Amino acid sequence: MNFTKYIIAILVLIAFNSEAQTKKLKAYLDEKQYYAPEIGNYIEIQLQYVGYTIAYKSKENGLQGEIAVIMKFMQNDSIIASDAFRLQSPIMKDSIIEDFYDIKRFALKPGEYSFSIELKDLNSLEEALKATKSIKIEDLSLKTTISDIEIAESATQGDESSVFFKSGYNIIPKLSNYFPDELKYMPVYFEIYNSEKLNEDAFGIKQKITNSLTGEEIAFFSKTTRHKPDNVVPFARSIDIQNLPSGKYILEYIVINKSLVEVAKQTYEFERSSNIDNMFDPEKIILNPAFQESIHKDSVQFFLASLIPMAKPAEIKNILSVIKTKNDDNARKLIQGFWITTSGTNAFESWMRFKQQVLVVEKLYKNNYQAGYETDRGRVFLQYGAPTTVIQRESTPDEYPYEIWQFNKIGKFSNKSFIFYNPDLVSTTYRLLHSDMIGETKNPGWQQVLRSRNTPHGNIDTPNQNVNSSFGDSNYYFKQY
**352-368 confidence digits (pLDDT tens):** 999 999 999 999 999 88
Closest among 336, 386, 329, 376 to 356, alpha carbons compared: 386
Digit-coded pLDDT (tens) for 298-314: 999 999 999 998 887 77
In this prediction the pTM is 0.60
Q: What is the pLDDT of residue 8?
A: 36
The confidence score (pLDDT) of residue 415 equals 87
Averaged over 225-242, what is the pLDDT? 94
b/e code 77-108 from CB counts within 10 Å (16+ = b): eeeebeeeeebebeebeeeebebbbbbbbbeb
Cα distance between residue 109 and residue 115, in whole Å: 14
Q: Choose among 3, 12, 116: nearest CA to 65.
A: 12
For 261-277, how does the pLDDT look when each residue is reduced to its tens digit (9 = 90+)? Answer: 999 999 999 998 887 65
Closest CA to 32 of 3, 8, 7: 3
More confident residue, 475 or 30: 30
pLDDT in tens, 451-461: 876 655 444 44
The pLDDT value given to residue 23 = 60
pLDDT band at 481 (very low <50, low <70, confident <90, very high): very low
Q: What is the mean pLDDT of the chain?
A: 85
Per-residue model confidence (pLDDT) at position 463 = 46
Ramachandran class of 281: left when φ > 0, alpha when ψ lies in -120 to 50, beta otherwise: beta
Instruction: Specify the higher pLDDT residue, 458 or 377.
Output: 377
Residue partners of 448: CB distance under 8 A and separation at least 6: 455, 457, 458, 463, 464, 466, 467
- For the segment 120-129, the average pLDDT, to the nearest whole number, is 86
Q: How confident is the model at residue 20 (pLDDT cuts 50, 70, 90)?
A: very low
More confidently predicted of 387 and 461:
387
- For residues 41 and 310, which has the higher predicted lDDT (pLDDT)? 41
- 68, β-bridge pairs: 86, 120
State pLDDT tens for residues 47-96. 999 888 899 999 888 899 999 999 999 999 999 999 999 999 999 886 67
Can you say how many angstroms the Cα of residue 341 is from the centroid of all Cα atoms in its chain? Answer: 17
pLDDT beyond 50 at 150:
yes
For residue 240, is pLDDT > 60? yes
**At a CB cut-off of 8 Å and minimum separation 6, what does 144 contact?**
192, 193, 194, 195, 197, 198, 203, 255, 263, 264
Asked if residue 174 lies in contact with residue 186, where contact means CB atoms within 8 angstroms, the answer is no
Q: How confident is the model at residue 203 (pLDDT cuts 50, 70, 90)?
A: very high
pLDDT value at residue 312: 76
178-179 and 262-272 as β-strands: parallel, antiparallel, unpaired? parallel
